[in-house]
Structure 1
């Protein structure tokens, strides 16, 4: 268990004790007058506002400001309201929303209900402002005023089971195609929707939002029933012919293979694949155990021995070594003040390629100690781990590698166990850089450019030539042999311990041909399953 989780449990436990003691206090004293000490006790206020005007004003502020949870708490059906408000906002993807109170009937003394009207203006895109009035009702409960929740608060014609959608064409047309022209998202009378099978669930919001932003002459808001059938067009118009589809970098074949590979693993698994020539993001996949948040794109983890790719770049470029340079690989070694161990093996006198293929921590800890304090950071910079990009529709984090703060940390950084962090996307970019020998700009769209916030320059070709030899040896004779049946694969395994050291994240970073990839398995405690997931992904491609 990592320290942060342990602290959270301890704090949570302490709060639970306080709640139990307070509850017991009131139970024991329920028969008499309230003791003086209890008069200062705090209580949790019920949701709502003290008067009708405050209730609707605060609701409209939260609605306009895209705070669905806060707005939901001001209604008499918190959960349903928050879900519907969030879903509608994500679907319509407005540039802004303005909601203003236009009328509120005075509530007589003792009244439990009040009525009124507010207006809503959705700025959906330049020149597309949708404005309408919404009747509402306020109800009183527990001394507080709440907005009565109903779908009609989103639009007066919206009924139970219905929702709002964006549509750009009368008939079903392809709105988003993969890099080979295969449909990923279609648009029609039922609005935008993924093709059957929803092949890229993590990217669904990004794909739909880009269609909304790019829609031309065909752009309408419709209300549809529970089955997605159009009931009525409420705003705008659609095109008879349909707009030219947007082209994404994804490969439907690669995406399906990636999803099948992670779904076949019982624990939390994520996989990212990229074209080493163009930077096209070919696939982004997570299984159910990994959750719905796109951690594959922005979750940072210690990379373990997969970071030895960067350490090798530094050793070749800065220390003048090559794949055949002699090195020592003892089973246990004291390096500086750190005791470093291998996973139950020692090689003795060997060469750099063999130490890399077998993942010798003692070798790479010693190599790291011989580098300048910023030596590993320079290598990580050249592999893109500290680069930064704005990819339309995506929130991404590649990694975080800083100069070591101490010699001990420098030793640990050498095998990815210090403060080094990387995401699956970052690991993929690192592998793509080694494969291509050039700086890679990852992209999700062929129609919309990625913004380079912070770029990078790759290592020299002679350096990468040595690293490729070592990465190939991992699969032919080292820790990645399970991928040997998937073709000419180059890679590096990693097992990164965290917390108290009893748990570890499994990695396999590599490439085959023009496809670079990274597999990250949370809490797998071994890199072997990550190699198997990668092989499962590569074989059908």
Structure 2
């Protein structure tokens, strides 16, 4: 290539580069003069002036912050003073304002408007929401918000102010006497059931939503209320009503919370209405009270006695041997601490909780004898209570004679929940099948029902359960009124540890107490006394 041609190419390339740079600079200048794309609806193009949409959005950001001194408003001092007074009166925990619609504004326009969505959050999680309006005008060639009290709320007029007052929120769920279980002043009541109660309430008509904890009103210059803007009583629907009792629930919860080990109490009316479901922190967050299955130990002797009285040809007064230990089939049973009563009545053997007596009686029953009696007491029933997952128990026909001997004293494969144990006591007390309920107006679905034992049998079982609480293993309850019940100690795992039980009723209240790893029934009896006293 000749030097002249080479020089011409270089000069042409240089001129092309210069042209590109100049074009880029011109483009950047134009983009810098154009309004931002995020200005919102109604923002004009082709002008360096802030659009009404951008001005409104900037104003609302400072409205949220509570300081309008540097906001695009025609009277910053008045605006800041009014907004500060409103926030000081309402004491919100948060204020949010989102730009709504901004109409397209012609270039020659001198006024326009914009809507926005306001949200004030108060302590207690009440949220006041409304739609507001901003009037915008040109002031010295720039768009600004025209200040008025209606900027804070569209109904607020000159010489009017906002006022807040706490309200006693209606409960979302109430107990059988109208006291709050969820919402209202229900803090700490029925903690293990809060999720279930709230979930069912949210599904039922009249039980949805969170009641307002405050009312917001506009008042005149003298402080006289003009209108309530938020928190009217009608906003809270009628509460859903539970069968629970705040008094019973509080007594049960207080009783279990006083213990370090895992403790559970379930109480119900003998009609089936649940009154209290309580377990302490050591029992965990799952509702073991309603669906946890455990060996019931000697508390199951209620079922064994029921079976023997029906099928074994004995009565409560029949003489029974109660040796300290006895080999039955291939199992060797021992009474606690090896006590030996000789020959006593069945009622006395029951009161003293003679393992040898009841192991022998169980071994003499048909293979399905204990399962039939357990079913008559509700331990194989199946219910669907709205909001709750429940199990009552699992007692099947014995597959061997040895297994039946173990079942006779509530060990082996026999399993019962605290709910099922309370149901068993309620069935003895009332003499009828019992359907557990948590709600007034919402029915429990019975998937598998049952029929109670004959009245003549239950009369004898009641007398035996009363003897337990007067002269037997629960005589510490003599000062707790006319209590009927049965103690139980049930080994689990390797057999080194045992759960303690007391199952019984007083008047029209049946209940079950279970202490995991207590290794004795005495603490369960003490807990029952504490609950009954409460």
State TM-score, norm by structure 1. Answer: 0.64
Map Cα deviations across residues 46-87 of structure 1 (whole Å, 9 max, x no partner): xxxxxxxxxxxxxxxxxxxxxxxxxxxxxxxxxxxxxxxxxx
- Map residues 319-358 of structure 1 onto 2, 5 A cutoff: 319-344=312-337, 345-358=339-352
Contact 1:220–1:238 (CA under 8 A) maintained in structure 2: no
SS of aligned partner of 1:240: helix
Q: Taking structure 1 as reference, are residues 445 and 220 closer, same or farther at Cα in structure 2, changes over 3 Å only?
A: closer
- Map residues 428-507 of structure 1 onto 2, 5 A cutoff: 428-507=422-501
- Name the structure 2 match of 1:199: 189
Distance in 1, matches of 2:403 and 2:126, equals 52
Distance in 1, matches of 2:347 and 2:209, equals 60
SS of aligned partner of 1:302: coil
- Map residues 147-296 of structure 1 onto 2, 5 A cutoff: 172-186=169-183, 195-216=185-206, 240=234, 242-276=236-270, 278-296=271-289
Distance in 1, matches of 2:263 and 2:208, equals 38
Q: Structure 1 residue 185: deviation in Å?
A: 2.1
Larger Rg: 2
Distance in 2, matches of 1:202 and 1:166, equals 27
Q: Structure 1 residue 175: deviation in Å?
A: 2.1
- Map residues 22-421 of structure 1 onto 2, 5 A cutoff: 172-186=169-183, 195-216=185-206, 240=234, 242-276=236-270, 278-344=271-337, 345-421=339-415
Q: Taking structure 1 as reference, are residues 399 and 175 closer, same or farther at Cα in structure 2, changes over 3 Å only?
A: same
Q: Structure 1 residue 427: deviation in Å?
A: 0.3
Q: Structure 1 residue 165: deviation in Å?
A: 8.8
Contact 1:434–1:467 (CA under 8 A) maintained in structure 2: yes
SS of aligned partner of 2:398: coil
Q: Structure 1 residue 242: deviation in Å?
A: 3.1
Map Cα deviations across residues 376-419 of structure 1 (whole Å, 9 max, x no partner): 00000000000000000111111000011111000000000110
Distance in 2, matches of 1:365 and 1:295, equals 28
Q: Structure 1 residue 229: deviation in Å?
A: 8.2
Specify every segment of 5 or more residues in structure 1 that has no aligned partner in the other structure, as ranges.
1-156, 187-193, 232-236
Q: Structure 1 residue 246: deviation in Å?
A: 1.4
How large is the Cα RMSD of the aligned pairs? 2.8
Contact 1:387–1:455 (CA under 8 A) maintained in structure 2: yes
Distance in 2, matches of 1:414 and 1:271, equals 24
Contact 2:290–2:418 (CA under 8 A) maintained in structure 1: yes
Match of 1:422 among 416, 440, 449: 416
Distance in 1, matches of 2:198 and 2:189, equals 13
- Runs of 4 or more, structure 1, over 6 Å off, are 157-167, 228-231
Map Cα deviations across residues 201-258 of structure 1 (whole Å, 9 max, x no partner): 0110111112211134x85589x9xxx9899xxxxx9972532221100011100110
Contact 1:342–1:361 (CA under 8 A) maintained in structure 2: yes
Q: Taking structure 1 as reference, are residues 324 and 171 closer, same or farther at Cα in structure 2, changes over 3 Å only?
A: closer
Contact 1:219–1:238 (CA under 8 A) maintained in structure 2: no
Contact 2:180–2:186 (CA under 8 A) maintained in structure 1: no
SS of aligned partner of 2:275: strand
Q: Taking structure 1 as reference, are residues 212 and 404 closer, same or farther at Cα in structure 2, changes over 3 Å only?
A: same
Q: Taking structure 1 as reference, are residues 221 and 502 closer, same or farther at Cα in structure 2, changes over 3 Å only?
A: closer
Q: Taking structure 1 as reference, are residues 289 and 171 closer, same or farther at Cα in structure 2, changes over 3 Å only?
A: closer
Q: Structure 1 residue 422: deviation in Å?
A: 0.4
Q: Structure 1 residue 162: deviation in Å?
A: 11
- Name the structure 1 match of 2:92: none
Number of equivalent positions: 366
SS of aligned partner of 2:365: coil
- Name the structure 1 match of 2:507: 513
Q: Taking structure 1 as reference, are residues 497 and 181 closer, same or farther at Cα in structure 2, changes over 3 Å only?
A: same
Specify every segment of 5 or more residues in structure 2 that has no aligned partner in the other structure, as ranges.
1-117, 129-166, 217-230
- Name the structure 1 match of 2:84: none
Contact 1:265–1:533 (CA under 8 A) maintained in structure 2: no
Map Cα deviations across residues 405-450 of structure 1 (whole Å, 9 max, x no partner): 1110000000001100001000000000000000000000012110
